[in-house]
Amino acid sequence: MSAAKVKAQKIIADNGVVVFSKSYCPYCTASKALLSDLGAKFYLLELDQIDDGPAIQDALEEITSQRSVPNIFIKQAHIGGNSDLQGRKAELPALLKDAGAV
């Protein structure tokens, strides 16, 4: 197993809410804003700002079959991207509370 996959899986396992993002991505910005507006504490990894970002993105594709960002996890469950997160607005407060993120 690659070091990047091990790192990604550890981050997902160790945090209630994780957003794998790119700092310039407008969809990522929308997801981070929604989570922040809900008062969520989340682990954020900007893949374009770390050396192993491309490798982690490859590992996430292997784990989730999703290559795009944002790539969001709540309580170790893969939520998907921004449109998936926005589509679950009604249930997000309960999901975030269950994950210990609010």
Q: Considering its fold, how many domains does the chain have in total?
A: 1
Q: List strands edge to edge, sheet with 71-74.
A: 43-46, 17-21, 71-74, 77-80
3-state secondary structure of 6: helix
Give me the tens of pLDDT residue by residue for the chain, a chain 102 residues long: 899 999 999 999 999 999 999 999 999 999 999 999 999 999 999 999 999 999 999 999 999 999 999 999 999 999 999 999 999 999 999 999 999 998
pLDDT of residue 1: 81
pLDDT of residue 27: 98
Distance of CA 11 to the CA centre of its chain: 10
pLDDT of residue 81: 98
Omega before 54 within 30 of 0, i.e. cis: no
CATH number (domain holding residue 22): 3.40.30.10
Q: Which domain holds residue 58?
A: 3-98
3-state secondary structure of 22: coil
